[in-house]
């Protein structure tokens, strides 16, 4: 997740409220299939004060399956944190694949980068320390980049999700996949604003608008999935 938040940071609850059932999902389906480098990175992140920013293993499983279905080779990641989803992508795409990874915080990325190097996938990664919008705009200046990406994953500042969407709709190919994380904001999108903690209201309001706009976007097929604290999965149609 792109580390842009200066105010109090509060974790979102997962949508699945049964802790026992969630542990069952992880223990039965996610952890046994989790690659060793991913386990290592998850453990390396666990002591970080905002470790909850990292992609969960069950969400990662779904992402990897979708990447395989579209034969992803060239991808974009907006928001990296320590790099669980980035490493997952690097392990999933072919050896000659390429990931453009964007985050304003190199320090957190470098927690995971040695594990990526040890896993033999660092050569696939182009990490850019920057705000994401200028990088996406720069990519669009080259017409050859339009429709050239197979997959994109966004886990960054929620206020810019719609801006990211418009740019990624030009960069990702027809038939490609774009995933936006945290889109149910721990259920806060369905709660009265007055009941949502003040630090989380701006994100809630941005995501309500984002979900509304993307749900009406006829350029994509969508699924607003309840995995984690919500994922909007888009498949570009045109």
CATH code of 178's domain: 3.40.50.150
Assigned domain for 111 exists: yes
Q: What is the pLDDT of residue 113?
A: 98
**pTM score above 0.75:** yes
Q: What is the pLDDT of residue 17?
A: 76
Assigned domain for 9 exists: no
Assigned domain for 94 exists: yes
Assigned domain for 60 exists: yes
Assigned domain for 13 exists: no
Query: What are 5's two structure tokens?
Result: 């938040």
CA 91 from chain center: how many Å?
Answer: 16
Assigned domain for 7 exists: no
Assigned domain for 5 exists: no
Q: What is the pLDDT of residue 10?
A: 61
Say how many domains are in the chain.
1
Assigned domain for 144 exists: yes
Residue 43 structural domain: 19-236
For the chain, give the number of residues: 238
For the chain, 238 residues long, give each residue's pLDDT as a single digit of tens.
444 334 446 677 677 778 899 999 999 999 999 999 999 999 999 999 999 899 999 999 999 999 999 999 999 999 999 999 999 999 999 999 999 999 999 999 999 999 999 999 999 999 999 999 999 999 999 999 999 999 999 999 999 999 999 999 999 999 999 999 999 998 999 999 999 999 999 999 999 999 999 999 999 999 999 998 999 999 999 9
């Amino acid at each position: 997740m792109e580390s842009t938040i200066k105010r109090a940071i509060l974790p979102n609850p997962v949508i699945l409220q049964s802790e026992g059932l969630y542990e069952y999902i992880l223990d039965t389906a996610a952890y046994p299939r989790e690659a060793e480098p991913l386990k290592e990175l998850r453990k390396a992140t666990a002591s970080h004060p905002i470790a909850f920013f990292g992609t969960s293993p069950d969400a990662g499983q779904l992402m990897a399956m979708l990447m395989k279905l579209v034969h992803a080779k060239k991808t974009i990641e907006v928001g990296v944190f320590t790099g669980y989803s980035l490493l997952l992508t690097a392990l999933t795409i072919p050896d000659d694949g390429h990931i453009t990874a964007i985050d304003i915080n190199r320090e957190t990325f470098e927690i995971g980068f040695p594990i990526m190097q040890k896993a033999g996938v660092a050569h696939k990664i182009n990490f850019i320390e920057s705000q994401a919008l200028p990088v996406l705009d720069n990519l669009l200046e080259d017409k050859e980049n339009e429709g050239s990406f197979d997959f994109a994953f966004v886990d960054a500042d929620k206020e810019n999700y719609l801006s990211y969407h418009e740019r990624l709709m030009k960069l990702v190919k027809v038939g490609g996949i774009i995933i936006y994380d945290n889109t149910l904001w721990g259920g806060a999108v369905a709660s009265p604003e007055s009941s949502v903690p003040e630090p989380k209201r701006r994100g809630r309001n941005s995501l309500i608008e984002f979900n509304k706009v993307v749900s009406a976007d006829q350029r994509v097929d969508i699924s607003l999935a309840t995995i984690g604290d919500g994922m909007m999965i888009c498949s570009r149609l045109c």
